[in-house]
Amino acid sequence: MELKKRALKVVESLLEDSVAEDFLVDCAKFITRANYRDAVEERSIAKMCGYPICPNKLGKMPTQQYKICTKTNRVYDMTERKCFCSNFCYKASKEFEPSKH
């Protein structure tokens, strides 16, 4: 039970406007992938970039769910990408995302 409380406090702290990179790295010890994804989603609902160390606000979000890349002839689901201000933040967030479930 104590671990759940600690994880909740960590997730709440990730909802601040900007989070220090070293703090984010420390947080990984206390949260699961689901906790982190919740923080990303909550940040995007608040119109903040989902990557906690990014201070940017989200601009106008695309409404389409899929994007077709004519260069690679692939279809991409944009659901997760909409939570971030840029491809850089999306990729950085995916790399950081805790691996434990």
76 in a structural domain: yes
Q: Give yes or no for a contact between 93 and 84, defined as CB atoms under 8 angstroms apart.
A: yes
Percent of the chain with pLDDT over 70: 83
6 in a structural domain: yes
DSSP-H helix ranges across the chain: 2-13, 21-27, 33-45, 87-96
End-to-end CA separation in angstroms for the chain: 17
16 in a structural domain: yes
| Total number of domains in the chain | 1
pTM of the model: 0.78
pLDDT of residue 79 exceeding 80 = no
Token representation of residue 82: 């909409």
pLDDT of residue 60 exceeding 60 = yes
28 in a structural domain: yes
101 in a structural domain: no
Question: In which domain, by residue range, is 6 found?
Answer: 2-96
